[in-house]
Amino acid sequence: MNNTGRASTALVGAATFGIGEAPGFTSMDLAARAALAALEESGFRVADVDGLFIGLPSDFLSGLSFAEYLGIQPKLTNNNRTGGSAFLTHLGVAARALEVGEIDVALIAYGSNQRTGTGGLVSAASPNPYEMPYKPRLPVSAYALATSRHMHEYGTTRDHLFAVAQSARAWAGLNPEAFKRAPLSREEYFAARMVSDPLSVLDCCLVTDGAAAVVMVRRERAADCKGAPIYLLGLGEATDHYQIAQMPDLTTSAARFSGARAYAQARVSPADVDVVELYDAFTINTVMFLEDLGFCKKGEAGDFIASGAIAPGGSLPVNTNGGGLACVHPGMYGLFTVVESYRQLTGSAGERQVASAEIAVAHGNGGFLSSQVTAVLGGASTA
């Protein structure tokens, strides 16, 4: 069994930069500012970084360009691209490289200026002759198709999806960094412009600027670091399709495999988890991932969410920063699930702090529900 995780490595710094609108910065500038802030928090210098993990929106060689920008000569660069989940796959590669001593200090970073930059939205997907003629509005239409099927099989409703969006806004209201902090009313939600039925513009993630970074070391090193440590307890990846028409079951993602793998390594169950950070590119993601990661039975997440369970004061705090729906979504959101987990597990989440949070799940999604990556992270008591 792969024992990567189970506290052999630790995150010792995590930072964001430029959330919302950051005019005048390139994506690389934003990633560098987040990286420097995370390094400052950890107590490491730029020159200490010997493992570099990055995937900028439109720079397919950013493992090289970001190393040059920072002025470092890393022993290992990794630019794996699985969509927005990529940065959680980087956690796994970094952990394994740290464990075997190939590297000593890993920096994982991301930044995008997609809101204020002139480049517009960037798609990494190549045109497909078997999809392109029908003009799906990707990625929204892919998630809308999955939503239609979830509604058909399990009776999930737009009231359930509203509860997801409303909860995200309620958490964002507690986060000074979040982009959309006003409460969301039922009237506003149901009056919103439809994009690809049954998803409206308020079922879709934000389009913002923003950057995130984390610093990772072996656990022995963590004790000597300036930054408070949290520990990687388990990490699982899974993929079962790329294009939405090839997804084996549109109601059920490969998160059921990535989650099971991560829980097994971490030796925890969903009942042990104090706080959950999910990649909510669309409202259906939160519904589907709560089911696939074992927090609800299949088909029951809608009612669970509508009961207020995932909102502030609920029994299972989910997307405590406001998520991609209300806090930040600069093209790829995955790394922000890790940063928010770090803040919750180090007790530095301010007004939105979940009391005595010790186990967090950070879950990344990429493509069209195609890549699923689950990390189980633990606070000081799990070392």
Partner 1 sequence: MDIQPDREFFAFLAQGKFMLQCARGGRPFFYPRVAEPGTGARDLAWVEASGLGAVYATTVVRSRPPQADYNVAVIELDEGPRMLSRVEDVAPDQVVIGMRVIAQIVPFEDHHTVIFRPVERAEGSGR
- Residue of 55, 63, 74, 136 that binds partner 1 (CB under 8 A): 136
Nearer CB in complex with partner 1: 6/149 = 149
Binding segment toward partner 1, per CB under 8 A, in 109-117, 158-166, 240-248, 347-355 = 240-248
Q: Is 145 in the site for partner 1 (CB under 8 A)?
A: yes
- Kindly state the smallest distance separating residue 130's Cβ from partner 1, in Å: 5
Six token digits for residue 371: 């890549």
Binding segment toward partner 1, per CB under 8 A, in 172-180, 182-190, 229-237, 241-249 = 241-249
Q: Is 129 in the site for partner 1 (CB under 8 A)?
A: yes
Nearer CB in complex with partner 1: 149/218 = 149
Strands (E) located in the chain = 9-20, 51-54, 76-78, 106-112, 194-196, 199-200, 209-218, 230-239, 275-278, 359-366, 371-378
Angle at 13 (CA atoms; ends 333, 274), nearest 5 degrees: 65
127 Cα distance to chain centroid: 26
The amino acid occupying position 65 is S
Q: Is 148 in the site for partner 1 (CB under 8 A)?
A: yes
* Distance (Å, whole) CA 287 – CA 303: 10
C-alpha dihedral (232, 233, 238, 243), degrees to nearest 10: -40
Nearer CB in complex with partner 1: 71/120 = 120
Q: Is 135 in the site for partner 1 (CB under 8 A)?
A: yes
Binding segment toward partner 1, per CB under 8 A, in 215-223, 245-253, 281-289, 332-340 = 245-253
- Residue of 91, 98, 250, 306 that binds partner 1 (CB under 8 A): 250
Query: Using an 8 Å Cβ cutoff, are 270 and 318 in contact?
Result: no
Residue whose C-alpha is closest to residue 242's, from 118, 124, 375, 122: 124
Q: Is 141 in the site for partner 1 (CB under 8 A)?
A: yes
- Kindly state the smallest distance separating residue 59's Cβ from partner 1, in Å: 29
- Residue of 16, 27, 89, 196 that binds partner 1 (CB under 8 A): 196
* Distance (Å, whole) CA 343 – CA 14: 8
* Distance (Å, whole) CA 51 – CA 48: 9
Nearer CB in complex with partner 1: 148/346 = 148
Binding segment toward partner 1, per CB under 8 A, in 20-28, 97-105, 126-134, 254-262 = 126-134
- Kindly state the smallest distance separating residue 161's Cβ from partner 1, in Å: 14
Which residues 6+ apart lie within 8 Å of 101 measured at CB? none
Nearer CB in complex with partner 1: 215/250 = 250
x-or-dash pattern for partner 1, window 197-236, by CB under 8 A? xxx-------------------------------------
* Distance (Å, whole) CA 81 – CA 100: 23
Kindly provide the b/e burial profile for residues 110-137, where b requires at least 16 CB atoms within 10 angstroms of the residue's own CB: bbbbbbebeeeeeeeeeeeeebeeeebe
Residue whose C-alpha is closest to residue 78's, from 111, 108, 53, 104: 53
Handedness of CA 183, 188, 192, 196 (dihedral sign): positive
- Residue of 244, 281, 306, 316 that binds partner 1 (CB under 8 A): 244
- Residue of 45, 75, 152, 267 that binds partner 1 (CB under 8 A): 152
- Residue of 72, 76, 174, 245 that binds partner 1 (CB under 8 A): 245
The amino acid occupying position 189 is Y
Handedness of CA 144, 364, 112, 172 (dihedral sign): positive
Q: Is 194 in the site for partner 1 (CB under 8 A)?
A: yes
Nearer CB in complex with partner 1: 113/283 = 283
Please work out the total of residues on this chain that contact partner 1, with binding judged by CB under 8 A: 27
* Stated length of the chain: 383
Nearer CB in complex with partner 1: 193/271 = 193
Q: Which residue has the tokens 């509508």?
A: 306
- Residue of 6, 149, 181, 219 that binds partner 1 (CB under 8 A): 149
Q: Is 134 in the site for partner 1 (CB under 8 A)?
A: yes
Interface contacts to partner 1, rule CB under 8 A: 129-131, 133-137, 141, 144-146, 148-149, 152, 193-199, 243-246, 250
